[in-house]
Amino acid sequence: MLPDKDGPGAGGGRGPSEGEDPSVGLFREYLRLRTVHPDPDYDVALLLLDRLAEELGLPLKKYEICPGRVVSILTWEGTNPALKSVLLNSHTDVVPVFQEHWKCDAFSAFKDAEGNIYARGSQDMKCVTIQYIQAVRRLKAEGRKLTRTVHLTFVPDEEIGGHKGMETFVNHPEFQKLNIGFALDEGLANPGEAFTVFYGERNPWWITVHCPGSPGHGSRFVENTAAEKLRKVMNSFLDFREKEKQRLNTSECFTLGDVTTVNMTMVKGGVAYNVIPAEMDASFDLRIPPTVNLQEFERQIKQWCKEAGEDVTYEFAQKHTNQTLTSTDDNDPWWSAFREACKALDMTLEKEIFPAASDSRFIRALGIPAIGFSPMNRTPILLHDHNEYLNEKVFLKGISVYEKLIPALASVPACPDEA
């Protein structure tokens, strides 16, 4: 049972718990760091990474990609560093918390009697960060040597619009020096037995439609108003939304990543109750699967605006158009290594298009294959939700998964372009 948020135990086990696995203790320590937007404390995360790098005996480099925003890179050099490296990416920031909806302090890392650890970032994605690190720790303790170099990157600002951390870093000269051949990034939990693997992403389009109209007094039937145009725009977008929703609900072969989601997220306009506004705006969040013809889709948006009325226009706050997919063909060496390592652990994989957006899209845009994967099965999807949690047994199993995946990927034989 969770503690009342204002009652005894709301601090949720600040000190180490007797008999607790050290990896779980480290995970909970990381969860307590308030790297939360809108003002994430990245300095405390950097201090923790410094300590962990020293414990692992591995070099940690830091690059300030913009003021106050640092990318850290932990490197385990392989026996053949001339080969392309393996990248294990994670982000250090977490989304805001509405504490009144939580049953405990969202940064207490409270663990209940069932071993569920409640904290913002427990699923997205501080778990993966610590799983990477602890898997490397175990491999090094065993005296393992890897053929390919493995880089662990810890990036800021993934959770804000535009993913400025990795989006900026991929254009940094130091990123090119990493010579990456394959990347692992975050995925999602799966409530069932299987583990979800993401080989592509939907493109996010953030669009604002401007509807100008005739102003006037609120007591009159003014013609050609902004509100009338806005209603037509809303109807066009939301009617399309309903059609896509029906496609998802009526086809067993579709997942959320296979359809286009449309959500109206902002409406602006008006100055007073009795004044008909001269302009009204509506903003939409669209997520478009890689199977959609983006040029045709934008032509449809133009048509909706034209049908809404004179001078209705739109502009993008964000418009991503890269539709690159990572190969999951049986003969692909990277996918084959990933799949076989999972098979050896008796894991069932479900391949999907990632329904939201992650840093993988910036990596794939460079032509680097990337897989989104978080080893969380038997777990409800609670990223960005209230009372986000991860069970400690699921967390610990994830370390064992990476303990197999990392050497498997770092042992992929030289590809033709590396010969």
List domains and CATH numbers for the chain: 22-201+325-418 (3.40.630.10), 207-289+291-319 (3.30.70.360)
More confident residue, 26 or 11: 26
CA angle at 369 for the pair 297 and 160, rounded to the nearest 5°: 60
Confidence of residue 10 (pLDDT cuts 50, 70, 90): very low
pLDDT confidence band for 182 (50 / 70 / 90): very high
Overall average pLDDT of the 215-229 stretch: 96
From residue 130, alpha-carbon distances to 265, 279, 307, 312, 367 in Å are 34, 50, 52, 49, 27
The mean of the pLDDT values for the chain is 94
pLDDT digits (tens, 9 = 90+) for 344-384: 999 999 999 999 889 999 999 999 999 999 999 999 999 99
Q: What does the longest C-alpha to C-alpha distance in the chain come to?
A: 82
Which pair of structure tokens corresponds to residue 380? Answer: 């409800």
Instruction: Assign 418 a pLDDT band (cuts: 50, 70, 90).
Output: confident
Q: Check whether the bond before 264 is cis (ω within 30° of 0).
A: no
Dihedral over alpha carbons 156, 158, 161, 163 (to 10 degrees):
90
User: How large is the average pLDDT for residues 160-176?
Assistant: 84
What is the per-residue pLDDT for 8?
A: 36
Is 93 labeled as catalytic in the residue annotation?
yes
Tally of residues, the chain: 419
SS3 386: coil
Of 157, 158, 185, 281, the catalytic one is 158
Tokens for 220? 């009159």
331: pLDDT strictly greater than 90: yes
CA distance 76 to 70: 20
**pTM for the model:** 0.91
* Average confidence (pLDDT) over 42-55: 98
Would you state the pLDDT for residue 6?
A: 42
Q: What is the pLDDT of residue 396?
A: 98
Cis peptide preceding 38, ω within 30 of 0: yes
- Distance CA(181)–CA(198), nearest Å, equals 17
Residues 87 and 151 sit within 8 Å (Cβ to Cβ)? yes
**Tokens linked to 250:** 């009526």
181 φ, ψ to 5°? -105, -30
**Residue 363 CB partners (closer than 8 Å, separation 6+):** 87, 89, 166, 170, 180, 183, 185, 370
Q: Which helix (H) or strand (E) holds 244?
A: helix 226-250
- For the chain, give the percent of residues with pLDDT over 90: 90
Residue 100 or residue 68, greater confidence: 100
Average pLDDT over residues 90-111: 97
